[in-house]
Structure 1
Amino acid sequence: MSASIHPAPLMLGPYELLQRIATGGMAEVYLARRAGPRGFQKVVAVKRILPQLAEDHDFVAMFVDEARVCARLAHPNIVQVFDFGEHDGELYMAMEYVDGTTAARLVRAAASRGEDVPLEAALYIALSVLRGLDYAHNARDDDGRRLSLVHRDVSPGNVLIDRSGAVKLTDFGIARAAEIERRTDAGQLKGKLGYMSPEQVVGRELDARSDLFTAGIVLAELVMLRPLFSGHSEIDVLMRIRDADLTVLDRATSRVPDDVRAVLYRALARDRALRYPSAAAFAEAIEEILRRRRLQVGPGKLAGWITKLGLIPTGEVETPVSESSVRPTATLDRASPTPESPRITVPPPSAPPPSGNPSPSDPRNPAELAPLIYRVRTATGVTIGPMSYPRLVEMMVTGGVDHRALISRESLPFRSAVAYPELARFTQSAALRWDDNVFSTANDKGPIDRAVLPSRMFRLARKRETGALYFRDGARKKKIYLVEGVPEFVVSTDKSELFGEHLVARGQVLRMEVEMALSMLPRFNGRLGDALCGLGVLRPIELFRAIHQQMQDRFTEVFHWRSGEVAFVRGARSHEETFPLGFDPFDLVLRAVRDAYPEAELEAILQPLESALIVPVVPLPVRLEAFRLGEAEENVLREIKRPTPFADVLRAASRYASREETLRALFCGLSCDLLRAEEWRRLTSMPPRPV
């Protein structure tokens, strides 16, 4: 009788891999066991990079970063990393095994059964997460220096609850510490859709207060049993987060007690300066609610409730890892707390392909598109072409082809451009037309004066004007549309400022990908961003951030102009389908000055004020914080408390600010009506000086 043959166990270093329990776009996680002498065994979760990505240096670097960060963290509310090793060239990480469930599953289960999460359970989970965050935010290296750690992915799927009721935060795979160098391409997604802070959406530098915002989302959803930020598309969700739109919380009056609502409003403030200053302060606010309500919380009560809910069946072991620790990347789905929440996708293009252009069987395959050839006949009778569709669009957008020109497609006779559906957006958009007739005295026309331009921009913002600023310098033209003083849309004839060129210059897309998207514009209503998303080149959050940056760059670029004319057409609107970008016009003006006015030029502009008396404006027309000045610049303005000679201001400020910082502060203060000087008033009302 032959002996039975058992296959050798699958080993990764000293760990026997028992069962794969999760897999995703970056890594896979196994239930594993480490055996020791005299019957010792330890059950752990082992994460390893997917074999096909083991040679990808970026993924490997992120994996190593996660191990390095987590190895420093030892706290009862954080999943611990025990070991990090390499086996036959393959990296792995051994983590604490959490036998239980997640906050995301808890919310879904409660919602599907029509039950509320007990308030004490919701508060206890949030309190545990905040204690773990407080520890992580204050973690230090071996030399006692703060790591400045930001988790950046606090979400219900990353909040684990074991069968004993202990709550642990996991997945520091995209955490950011000051000492870690890693790829941070503009627009790179950090965090899950629906669980980001407003500053995370627009790509600003993050600090610990970003985690407090997302912890607030987790608490809100535990109490409400529905997403705090949802929408028909990713862009809708991102816009609601960016604006900190708490409409859903406002309406949940029956589910959210007033004292909890007050805590959430502070944690979810759009301005991070208005949030709790630390995770500890947020935790103290929750502890105060528990004391006032005399609620008894702890792991035992939570364990009993999740067992009663059926999330911890007796004798059955649940997946011990977070729902996102394997970093899936192939879906746009949001891990939604309720079963009926809509799928988050990019809306499909609504415009049909133009007649005569065969519809491809797969919009991702541009080779199936029959390229069309166009010719243009100008008002003077000159024929331009032949040219491709992308080239024609470029010329129309940059003013090379007037919207009144006649167009011929293939061998068809010349017709008005409005006759071609694929050109509809470019012929009907008022924003894309360049009308030189606006430069008249009726539209407050004047020459561009660099000394006056910031002041002009500030006053339009302060008066909450709606209209369009037209700029021209020979063939170069630009329009800035304002809605109640805030820049909404900026167009330019400069080819380098086109959206595709902007993306290529920043390394976000390849030129080949832009060309592919341009060929698909008719299917996407002439919108390059939508085409890039539809082709999978950009994700919606990347598109949002790219548009935000492009509009900001277009706005500040005009401050570099040294000649030309400017006119303001009051009441003009772009009529473009734009989403509010949330710019602060005062902050934008300061950024433009910082970027476009070197110290030598500031010196020259302010030279006539050498004997002037600088007078502070009281009260200030706009609070100083709105300009987001540097600390030294802000101190220059704050120290001018009474009329002071210009030279004395420079001399006093030299103790805490550089000369350039002082000059910039004075220039912005005078331009933005924070300071007054009689000589400045005369200077800015004089005809412009030659540059």
Structure 2
Amino acid sequence: MSELFSPGDKITQNFDMTIVEKIAEGGMGEVYEAILHGASGFEKRIALKVVRADFASKDIHDTSARELDFLTRLVNEAKLVSNLIHTHIVQIYLLGTLQGFSSGFNGFVAMEYVHGVSLRNLIDKHLFNGKKIPVDIAVYIASRIARALEYAHKFKDRSGRTLGIVHRDVSPTNVLISLDGVVKLSDFGIAKAVNQDFFPGEYIVGKRRYMAPEQAAAGEVDFRADIFSLGILLYEMLCNSLPDRSILPPPISNLRDDLPNSVEFIIEKTLQLNPAMRYSDTSDLAVDLEKVIYEKGYGPTFVTLSEYLRQAFPAMDETQMINSNEEKTILFNSLTPNPFSKNV
């Protein structure tokens, strides 16, 4: 019996996309909610990351170094992360080209659409209301990010080679939480595999407030830089503020009286100035976080987080992100004014 395909056969397939609305905009990029159409009425909701129209229409030879860096990051994200398939990582579906641009860069990245809010939105919501995220919720979110990082740090390619992907931009804008309570790490645009070339003093990318000291100094980084950034995130979720970087690891017990000693230990260990003093394995960090929330035999799940999110953002429903003016004010006054990362 003959087979339809043989190994190595190439398939050319056309497909259509319908733009629903813009959901994020940054300095040089935009993200749209879109519908991918297939045969027999097939539809899939996706997020479409593209270069802004004014840059897409420019001749590639007229682009600045910063613009070229963004284009490189867009392609890098798609190629490096395309095979990262994990519950807590936003999945990349396709790197393609748009029709209708005679010059310039007309590439796009089709990725998983996350219907929810960013961690930045959630933190700002609590700041707006003068409240702090409950300890178990904050630690649960951090534990899911840790599992995503563990997967990326230990990811192997098809040949069995460990790539050791370091995110390098773990920050609240790059953590998305779906309405169903699933935490997703996004925007691997500046991620690097450990076997990629490194040049000391190279252009620093990322958000300095969340960078490990060695990364901020343009030094060589490994997975422990991501661990430091996650420690900053956990601190901010618990305290509604960033730690004083002149005092690391920072004292935290005087900021919350409901913190278990185990949480203080995790923050102290993740925020060590010396990378060698931090966790030596992301798995150990994830386990310690999970021990905190499940030490009594039970603890928060994605269902718990979903219920909490719906209480925090009551105007958000299954079809639209935010319906009420009050919720819109909170989101649009935050550093990332909509549910997908602004830093696209």
TM-score, normalised to structure 1, is: 0.42
Bigger CA radius of gyration? 1
The DSSP-based 3-state class of the residue aligned with 2:89 is coil
Query: Does residue 26 of structure 2 align to residue 41 of structure 1?
Result: no
Structure 2 Cα separation of the partners of residues 269 and 42 of structure 1? 44
**Which residue, out of 231, 234, 245, partners 1:219?**
234
Instruction: Say whether the 8 Å CA contact 1:159–1:168 is kept in structure 2.
Output: yes
* Residue 79 of structure 1, CA deviation: 0.2
Question: Could you tell me which of 126, 134, 139 is aligned with 2:150?
Answer: 134
Distance 1:39 1:13, change over 3 A: closer
Could you report, residue by residue, the CA deviation over 1:266-296 in whole angstroms, capped at 9, with x for unpaired residues? 1111111111112110011112222324441
Residue aligning to 2:6:
none
Distance 2:54 2:37 in 1: 29
Deviations 1:553-584 (A, max 9, x none): xxxxxxxxxxxxxxxxxxxxxxxxxxxxxxxx
Structure 2 distance, partners of 1:293, 1:125, is 18
Residue 90, structure 1, aligned to residue 106, structure 2 = yes
| Pick aligned residue for 2:190 from 157, 164, 174 | 174
Over 3 Å counting, the alpha-carbon distance change for 1:163 and 1:94 in structure 2 is same
Separation of aligned partners in 2, 1:122 and 1:69: 29
Asked if residue 322 in structure 1 is aligned to residue 341 in structure 2, the reply is yes
Cα distance change on mapping 1:176 and 1:312 into 2, 3 Å: farther
Deviations 1:206-235 (A, max 9, x none): 000110011111111111122224xxxxxx
In structure 1, the partner of 2:83 is 72
**Alignment correspondent of 2:310:** 307
Q: The residue matched to 1:270 in structure 2 has which SS?
A: coil
Distance of 1:255 and 1:219 partners within structure 2: 15
For 2:223, the aligned partner's letter is A
The offset of 1:179, in angstroms, is 4.9
Aligned equivalents of 2:45 and 2:79: distance in 1? 22
Q: Would the alpha carbon gap of residues 295 and 217 (structure 1) be closer, same or farther in structure 2, given more than 3 Å must change? A: farther
Amino acid at match of 1:93: V
Q: Specify the code of the residue in structure 2 equivalent to 1:152.
A: R
Of 95, 101, 125, the residue aligned with 2:117 is 101
Distance in 1 (alpha carbons) for counterparts of 2:259 and 2:22: 39
The one-letter amino acid paired with 1:260 is V
1:224·1:255 contact (CA, 8 Å) conserved in 2? Answer: no
TM-fit CA distance, 1:67:
0.5
Please list, as runs of the form range in 1=range in 2, the aligned pairs for 1:464-475 lying within 5 A after superposition. Answer: none
Structure 1 gap segments, 5+ residues each = 1-11, 230-239, 327-691
Question: Could you say if the C-alpha distance between residues 13 and 102 of structure 1 is closer, same or farther in structure 2, counting changes exceeding 3 Å?
Answer: same
Letter in structure 1 aligned against 2:164: S
CA-based RMSD of the aligned residues comes to 2.2
Aligned length: 301
Match of 2:283 in 1: 280
Q: Give the secondary structure class of the aligned counterpart of 2:184.
A: strand
CA contact (8 A) 1:102 1:158 kept: yes
Q: 1:26 and 2:41 equivalent?
A: no
Q: Is the 8 A contact 1:212 1:278 kept in 2?
A: no
Q: SS in structure 2 opposite 1:194?
A: helix
Identity %: 33
**Inter-CA distance 253–164: structure 2 relative to 1 (3 Å threshold):** closer
**Residue 165 (1) aligns with residue 169 (2):** no
**Matched residue of 1:251: which SS?**
coil
1:267 is aligned to 2:282? no
Segments of 5+ residues of structure 2 without an aligned counterpart are 1-13, 100-104, 323-337
Code of the aligned partner of 2:340: V
Contact 1:158-1:169 within 8 A present in 2 as well: yes
Shift of 1:13: 6.6
Specify the code of the residue in structure 2 equivalent to 1:188: Y
Contact preservation (8 Å) 1:158, 1:171: yes
1:124 paired residue number = 140
Does structure 2 conserve the Cα–Cα contact (< 8 Å) formed by 1:65 and 1:180? no
Partner residue of 1:251? 254
Task: Spell out structure 1 runs of 4+ moving beyond 4 A.
Answer: 179-182
| Cα pair 1:306 1:312 within 8 Å, conserved | no
Displacement after TM superposition at 1:60 (Å): 2.3
AA partner of residue 70 (structure 1)? V
By how many angstroms is 1:148 displaced?
A: 2.1
What is the distance in 1 between the residues matched to 2:86 and 2:315? 24
Q: Distance in 1 between matches of 2:216 and 2:262?
A: 28
Give the partner amino acid of 1:79.
V
